Amino acid sequence: GTRIICDRKFLLECKNSPVARTPPCCLPQTPAVTSLAQSSLVKLEELKEQNESEEAMPDQDQFEMDI
């Protein structure tokens, strides 16, 4: 057999290529494996809204202290 040898730089460049970021065209649709389930999408949207609302709030002390 023939060995294919790739250096580290080439492999790191392949990680960022557009082809590596797209799923195969003939991949079966399996909920929660190849595609997010509807409940997961709802949870993701809720988390995004929560993070946005937390970012909008000014910094406050974690605990109130009586001095």
Residue 58 neighbours by CB distance under 10 Å: 4
Beta bridge partners of 35: 31
pTM of the complete model beyond 0.75: no
Per-residue pLDDT of the chain (67 residues; tens, 9 = 90+): 789 888 999 989 888 888 887 777 777 777 767 666 555 667 777 888 877 776 666 556 667 777 7
Distance (Å) of CA 36 to CA 13, 28, 53, 59: 27, 13, 24, 34
**CA-CA distances (angstroms) from residue 40 to 26, 33, 54?**
23, 11, 21
Handedness of CA 52, 57, 59, 60 (dihedral sign): negative
- Return the residue matching tokens 């910094």: 59
